[in-house]
Amino acid sequence: MTETVQRPTLEAVAARAGVSRATVSRVVNGADGVTEPLAERVRQAVDELGYVPNQAARSLVTNRHDAIAVIVAEPESRVFSDPFFARQLRGISKELTAHDNQLVLLLTEGRADHARVARYLAGGHVDGALVFSLHRDDPLPELIQRAGVPTVFGGRPGWSGGRDGVVYVDSDNRGGARDAVRHLLGLGRSRVAHITGALDQTSAVDRLDGFRDAVADADPRLVAEGDFTVAGGERAMRELLERCPGLDAVFAANDLTAAGALRVLREHGRRVPDDVAVVGFDDMLPFAEQTDPPLTTVRQDILEMGRLMARLLLRGLDRTARTHDTSGGDLAGVVLPTTLVRRASA
Amino acid sequence: MTETVQRPTLEAVAARAGVSRATVSRVVNGADGVTEPLAERVRQAVDELGYVPNQAARSLVTNRHDAIAVIVAEPESRVFSDPFFARQLRGISKELTAHDNQLVLLLTEGRADHARVARYLAGGHVDGALVFSLHRDDPLPELIQRAGVPTVFGGRPGWSGGRDGVVYVDSDNRGGARDAVRHLLGLGRSRVAHITGALDQTSAVDRLDGFRDAVADADPRLVAEGDFTVAGGERAMRELLERCPGLDAVFAANDLTAAGALRVLREHGRRVPDDVAVVGFDDMLPFAEQTDPPLTTVRQDILEMGRLMARLLLRGLDRTARTHDTSGGDLAGVVLPTTLVRRASA
């Protein structure tokens, strides 16, 4: 390995400065009780030797690592293929960097690895956690809570019933979906279909509720289940065309799903928007502008969601440090508004 | 925050089991000297209370976190937009998960954040580090070495002169480039241009050397500098067409660069491969099959590079644990072969 350079020890610093180990430890950890000339000698020895304090020991004293874990409850392959996560991480990264906190992304192959993630969280390596893309029945929130790590969730957790103090940042999924479907109805469409997201996630359930708000008497055959992926959108669109060939509009649960639907509509010779109007959700750029035709969609500010998650967590940590109040107090959900962006597809 | 559940303490476990704190500590940390019936009582109390040991304290004893840091020396935005990194991370993730080690991806906004990354590494939160996409003059390797964290590099570090025991995994960049250019010459092309990668990276320098191996007397105007991105490929291709309108082949330093070159060639009405043959590097799938025309390219096994990096690191850690040998011994560079994959572009 690369350890050809011996790492300088606390003992070496003490010897070089001509002081005790305890004195070095006090100076390094910012404790009181060391006279300034002595402290200066220690700092000089630290510089000369390039000593780096063992933070595992140090954090027992300071209780702060300036590091925040981010967990996306999806397999690593999905994290890197869905631009939604990259965008949210960008917002988080900008905010954490601005506060000189290290972003620690904990990747997994799947849900089976969540216990290991929780172990790492419990291990005292980070000050807090940002968790997103939770699915129903995922043991992760429970494990995180047990680990005692302050957490902000991206998206409303589905298991919040009965638990106080859960902090989350979400978009107005239901309101955005309602706007999208009302827009389609306003264009004179009467057979509006919906391709859902993964229905074990609250965002998908909320968008389905928004669809139902707008078309209370919707034919149940006009709803097909997707999973927020292009392939899922293709599958669901084929189902819908088979069941309801007369449909004249589709509200897709996200832009990737809409892209899949557009591809299948094209295969079947349906013109968009003339024969079938299509609306997505996310406004993932440049993706949503590059579909054929460019996508009318519900914009949510994903970057800002990430920033806000990080900001709420850091603010909570500061308050905890000042007041030793870990109750969460009045913090709860923050829901950001959405806006409909009109392009050519509807 | 979410800390509504009080985290159970070591003291609580001791009280429940009716033993001393020291006994609980010994059992939790796997130390000897506790009789089996007593140990069983402690384990039962741990289970009942859902106690999670404080790993910062624990790691002072065991010296192992079962966590490996991965650092890509690029801004977070680049990590998520270049599929090369996703592929390499996939290989790393599979290997670490198979050994129940947590992948800890440390993201940065840029080089200014590398000191903070080194601080996290030095802080005793991980057992080792995998580092890739190093650029010349990056202080990161020096900082990592100071932090005393066993490290395996992806790609040959440019600063290896004079330092022993540097472990890296690389592809045969020079040999692969030579094959690509010889293939173009074999097609009867006589004005072969090269768009380089970022020349502060050894992979780009090695590929340029391979190009020169094959065409020793190349007109210097036939070499244009790129940066491994599509936009860099476009820029360089425009330069080349201006300087040498008679060129009949291009070897691009990677597939993204080749895609940029293809786009500009099409804009200028040059047919590929009839007027200009193009070869890339990486064989990034499905990307390399979806260019117009599909790309002839040099395949490197990126996934396997990632797996091998992780395997070498874990093996080194095991050996260190067994023998207390941190010298690195005989480990050094592992260079994987490349193969030319023929598609329509050359």
pLDDT digit string, tens, across residues B287-341 = 899 899 999 999 999 999 999 999 999 988 877 666 555 444 444 789 999 999 9
Whether A77 shows a pLDDT value over 50: the answer reads: yes
Does residue A346 form part of some domain? no
A150–B3 C-beta distance less than 8 A = yes
Does residue A341 form part of some domain? no
Lowest mean pLDDT across A62-76, A125-139, B253-267, B324-338: B324-338
Tell me chain B's radius of gyration from C-alpha atoms. 26
Give B84 or A280, the one with higher predicted confidence.
A280
Q: Are residues A95 and A151 in the same domain?
A: yes
Q: Are residues B186 and B212 in the same domain?
A: yes
Provide the β-strand partners of residue A270: none
B108–A104 C-beta distance less than 8 A = no
DSSP-based three-state secondary structure for B251: strand
Mean pLDDT of A223-230: 96
State the pLDDT at residue A283: 95
Does residue B2 form part of some domain? no
A38-72 pLDDT per residue, tens: 888 888 888 787 776 655 555 555 567 899 999 99
Predicted confidence band of residue B162 (pLDDT cuts 50, 70, 90): very low
Q: What CATH code is carried by the domain that includes residue B18?
A: 1.10.260.40
Does residue A2 form part of some domain? no
Q: Are residues B200 and B274 in the same domain?
A: yes
Q: Are residues A122 and A51 in the same domain?
A: no
Using a CB-CB cut-off of 8 Å, the residues of chain A touching B106 are 102-105
Mean pLDDT of B257-270: 97
- Containing domain of residue B47, as a range? 10-62
Q: Are residues A244 and A315 in the same domain?
A: no
What tokens does A310 get? 């990080």
CA B79/CA B197 separation, integer angstroms = 16
What tokens does B265 get? 């060639």
Whether A101 shows a pLDDT value over 80: the answer reads: yes
Predicted confidence band of residue B157 (pLDDT cuts 50, 70, 90): confident
Lowest mean pLDDT across A94-103, A159-168, B231-240: A159-168
DSSP-based three-state secondary structure for B235: helix
Q: Are residues A85 and A138 in the same domain?
A: yes
- The whole-angstrom distance between A172's CA and the closest CA on chain B is 22
Lowest mean pLDDT across B21-30, B55-64, B122-131: B55-64
State the pLDDT at residue B216: 87
CA A326/CA A94 separation, integer angstroms = 26
Q: What CATH code is carried by the domain that includes residue A205?
A: 3.40.50.2300
A1–B150 C-beta distance less than 8 A = yes
Of A22, A40, A62, the domain-final residue: A62
A249-275 pLDDT per residue, tens: 999 999 999 999 999 999 999 999 999
Using a CB-CB cut-off of 8 Å, the residues of chain A touching B125 are 55-56, 65, 67, 125
Q: Are residues B206 and B102 in the same domain?
A: no
Mean per-residue pLDDT of chain B: 87
Q: What percent of chain B has pLDDT over 90?
A: 55
Lowest mean pLDDT across A202-216, A271-285, B83-97: B83-97
Whether B56 shows a pLDDT value over 70: the answer reads: no
Mean pLDDT of B126-135: 92
Residue of A42, A88, A17 whose CA lies nearest to A306: A88
State the pLDDT at residue A115: 87
Chain centroid offset of residue B135 CA: 13
Mean pLDDT of B75-93: 88
Specify whether the CB–CB gap between B225 and B217 falls below 8 A. no
Mean pLDDT of A211-229: 95
Q: What is the ipTM for the molecules in this complex? A: 0.73
Of the candidates B54, B100, B147, the beta carbon closest to that of A52 is on B147
How many domains is chain B built from?
Answer: 3
Using a CB-CB cut-off of 8 Å, the residues of chain A touching B94 are 109
Mean pLDDT of A29-40: 78
CA distances from B263 to A303, B181, B232, B322 (A): 30, 21, 12, 55
Residue of B165, B153, B160 whose CA lies nearest to B71: B153
A57–B60 C-beta distance less than 8 A = yes
Whether B215 shows a pLDDT value over 90: the answer reads: yes
B67–A76 C-beta distance less than 8 A = no
